[in-house]
Structure 1
Amino acid sequence: MALPATFTTLDISGKFQQNKSLSDDMDEILSLQGVGWVIRKALKAANGSLTIKHTTDANGVEQLVIETSVGGGVAGGTEAVPLDWQERAKADGPMGPTIGKGRKIAIADVTEAYLKEGWVVDANQGGVFNIVMKSDTAKTGKSWTNEQIWGIQEIDGVKRFVRRIHFVGSKGEKINARVVFDYLGSA
């Protein structure tokens, strides 16, 4: 389902479900991140959804609280992503230990060409979300980076919530992918 006409990145709270027909296949990225074959196949078969609560804490720092429901035998979870560009370690999940950070950024300040493409300027007036996750190489022996921009794009004439991903693997593999979400309603 399309986003409401009033939906902007000033508040992305809502319930979303991945639209697999509009999204790119994530199998190669997940494989390079160390996610096992069985979990990758379960993720491909699952009909995952997100509930995002976009809040601001007492110090004025925006935060995304993301509840993931995966299905297909893969557990979901809840994760808080403060948008303060501070690195934080995370030890759980199918990718093993990771380090991540997030912020809001103007589209003009996005440096990777693929990540800059296709954003609806008026709907992203509050900036887009820049989320970077990388392997905790000291703990995993792997070295990869997954940079994402989250925001609103128009696809086939319909405004949708989208994640654009630029992944760099340990051997320099570069993969660009797009994950598109259908809007299910308010959070």
Structure 2
Amino acid sequence: MTKKQLKPKSTLTLAKINKETKSFSETHLFEFSNGETLNINIRFKPSAIEDMLEEYGQHMNTFEDHMSEMTETKKQKFQVYFLHFLVIKHFTDLKKSITDDSSKILDQFNAIIDTIYFQELIDNGFLTEEINKVWEKASKLTAAYSFMNNLEHKFQKHVQNLELENKDVLEKFGKDKQVPEM
């Protein structure tokens, strides 16, 4: 049996990598239905998505009290809208004017979601595949966090069981252990 030699269609070069990286800084002037314009990123840099999702997590932790008063449906709607709001923050020229401060960002969020700008940007401004990249990354991170939490819970339970199984040994060890005098 002979091995078939595959001819590469294209060889990866540093120049190609640099070109790909440069494409993340390309912007497009989006025009809203009312004639206003805003520069938006055409493509979303994966590390920028991760930074945005980290900010999302921090804000969600801060907003726990705010969300505890919501029905489950309203909470989910809030989470989806807030993630879209952060997409607008991180991937448009509005980044310069939207705060990072959790105590102030809710006011900015509430202001923008009640305008035409929010829905037009999400529906028509950004490429669908870029919004999908955000949701895919969020899903993967959520699954990873869930897995790690489950693993931590199992580990704690296992340690607890070991402590119970060896309680008499641990107690004896603790009593026999002499603290040296100084």
TM-score (norm 2): 0.23
Q: Please state which structure has a larger fraction of its residues in helix.
A: 2
Bigger Rg over Cα: 2
TM-score (norm 1): 0.23
Q: Which has the higher contact order (CA 8 A, sep 6+)?
A: 1
